[in-house]
Structure 1
Amino acid sequence: MRVLVTGVTGQLGHDCVLELRDRGIEVQGVSSREFPLTDVEAMRRYMAIYRPTCVIHCAAYTAVDRAEDDEAACMAVNAAGSADLARLCREFHAKMVYISTDYVFPGDGTTPYETDAPKGPLNVYGRSKLAGEEAVRSVLKRSFIVRISWVFGINGKNFIRTMLRLGQSHEKLTVVDDQVGSPTYTRDLSVLLADMIQTERYGVYHATNEGFCSWAELAAEVFRQAGMPVEVEPVPSSAYPTRAVRPHNSRMSKKSLTQAGFSLLPRWQDAVGRYLIELGTMKNTK
């Protein structure tokens, strides 16, 4: 197996490359510099040389608020670029993993969304990722659509890192508590993806760490495990208006993972603890 991982400079792409290398699987990570999603001929030239048998597509336009005023650029990368990549995978006989998002759903109610639940993105980013999903599924039968949410990993900015930074200078923080979902630790997700690509169990999956929480509950758990005496005051989303609307319900069912015989990710509290250790280890080696 020869795997190409897009978005290697991001949190998930970075950890996917590490996990595959640890398993002895041939892998090449690429960034937008050498593999621009808006240039199909450049992508074709790269794939013609490397000849991957699988592409894990982690790269995306992820500036959710900026996308509201930059819809064309967001769609060019997440929708059109992903469609072009899927066609190239078909051309070069490669399977593909398309990383999607909880934002494809409208975020109403409190019930976890099944993979086939009605879609209804609330923002441009969500619409672009849904368009990418639909393109990949229509073009490439040998594809895995994997929806994730609230991502955190060692190679980039994320909510947990922001909380740790703010906690250094604040005794009290206000954090949104009416958006509920599941954090996703890229170390854990990369293990699942490495397992997945070695099968033919194509389809749509939800893959996050187990359990649900609000952003405020996540922040409180981070401070508890980090031993930081920071009080978290829950507030509604209206206290922090953003350019893009966020879903209130990001709960996603993992039934499709279980039915396909894949292992569920560890609980989110456990993932937070291991991530804090990883962050500490990185700091100690610098």
Structure 2
Amino acid sequence: MRIAVTGREGQVARSLLATAPSGIEVITIGRPELDLANPASVLPALAAAQPDVIVSAAAYTAVDKAESEPESAFAVNAAGAGAVSEAAAKLGIPVIHLSTDYVFSGEKLAPYVETDPTGPISVYGSTKLEGELRVAAGNTDHVILRTAWVYSPFGANFVKTMLRLAETRDELRVVADQRGCPTSALDIADAILAIAARLKADPDPALRGTFHLTGTGEATWADFATEIFAQSRALGGNSATVTPITTAEYPTPARRPANSRLSGDKLAATYGIRLPGWKSSTEIAVKAILKNAI
């Protein structure tokens, strides 16, 4: 099986390259060949790869910057995602599109399920929701995977930021009134590979649609940071004391959902896939990051 992935440097793209077993070829495609801000570039670049499945992973992910650059975020996350889906339809193959917890307002008190009403509270969330709609409209042979709080040994993410800050600081103030599901991009990659194989082999409409894909369990950002430092300390790495603060004490241009928890029950029932507990997957990422830092 050959999988074409949009973007070369994203956490999921790099995780797919790292985890794909023998017999699955992962081809990452990015600028200048494929530029989501230039929809005309999408079909030729994807067609040249001759994939069996397309993974739409590239996105405008600068959440705060999107507040002042809505046009750029929309071009990539909405129009670009739609172009990828339409290209997959023209090639007659499935598309797996990555979306986000930011499509929800965060006001629900329980984990969100796929049928809950959306209600983004940021430009980024609005552009990702529009991207979902365009992906679904562009190709019936699609899976939309909403995920959250993604981290990995690659790129920029919360785990790497915490470990970097602990190199020079003994105490870190971390938000403790936002709750979500930390999710390893390595685990996302494993799930995508399994889903892609099923989509290629089975035309069942029940395998298509929107699903939630996050690590098992939940945490606040302060909980997450505390666990990162505990694991780093056990491995001989840097750590810091975590002081819990409120969202109001750490203002950002874009509002974050207070509740980012996503229920993975639909994915488990349909595909038999449930991601590992977030603490065990965090340990794998921390070990990999510390190993490369030494």
| Deviation for aligned residue 1:160 | 1.0
* Alignment correspondent of 1:230: 240
SS in 2 for 1:64: coil
Checking the alignment, whether the CA contact within 8 Å between 1:5 and 1:17 is kept in structure 2 is no
Is 2:114–2:211's contact at 8 Å kept on the other side of the alignment?
yes
- Provide runs of 4+ in structure 1 moved above 6 Å: none
- Which residue is equivalent to 2:226? 220
How many pairs does the alignment contain?
283
- The residue number in structure 2 matching 1:177 is 176
SS in 2 for 1:28: strand
For the 8 Å contact 2:180–2:260, the answer to whether it is kept is yes
Is residue 291 of structure 2 the alignment partner of residue 281 of structure 1?
A: yes
> Which segment is superposed worse, 81-90 or 32-41?
32-41
Deviations for 1:43-64, whole angstroms, at most 9, x for unmatched residues?
2222332222211111000011
SS of the equivalent of 1:199 reads helix
1:173–1:34 Cα change, 3 Å = same
Name which of structure 1's ranges 222-231 and 67-76 shifts more when overlaid on structure 2. 222-231
Q: Deviations over 1:162-218 (max 9, x none)?
A: 111111222211100000001111111100100001113212111111100000000
Q: What CA RMSD, in Å, does the superposition of the two structures yield over aligned residues?
A: 1.3
Spell out the pairing of 1:206-285 with structure 2 (5 A cutoff). Answer: 206-227=212-233, 228-284=238-294
* TM-score normalised by length of structure 2: 0.93
Q: Supply the AA of the counterpart residue of 1:61.
A: Y
SS state at 2:242 partner: strand
1:163 aligns with 2:162: yes
CA drift at 1:229: 4.9
Q: Distance in 1 between matches of 2:231 and 2:47?
A: 47
Q: Percent identity?
A: 34
For residues 32 and 64 of structure 1, the distance between their equivalents in structure 2, rounded to whole angstroms, comes to 21
TM-score in terms of structure 1 length = 0.95
List runs of 5+ in structure 2 lacking aligned partners.
200-206
Gaps of 5+ in 1: none
Aligned counterparts of 1:40 and 1:143: Cα–Cα separation in 2: 19
1:198 aligns to what? 197
Q: C-alpha offsets along residues 94-118 of structure 1, whole Å, 9 cap, x if unaligned?
A: 1101000000001013200001100
Of 232-241 and 162-171, deviating more is: 162-171
Q: Is the contact made by 2:153 and 2:286 (CA closer than 8 Å) also made in structure 1?
A: no
2:119 matches 1:113: no
Deviation at 1:19, TM superposition (A): 2.3
Q: Which residue of 2 aligns with 1:104?
A: 103
Counterpart contact for 1:8–1:17, Cα < 8 Å: no
Post-superposition Cα deviations, 1:1-25, rounded to whole Å, max 9, x if no partner, equal 22101122111111112222x2321
Work out the CA distance in 2 between the residues paired with 1:69 and 1:39.
20
For 1:41 and 1:138, the matched residues in 2 are separated by: 18
1:134 shift after superposition: 0.8
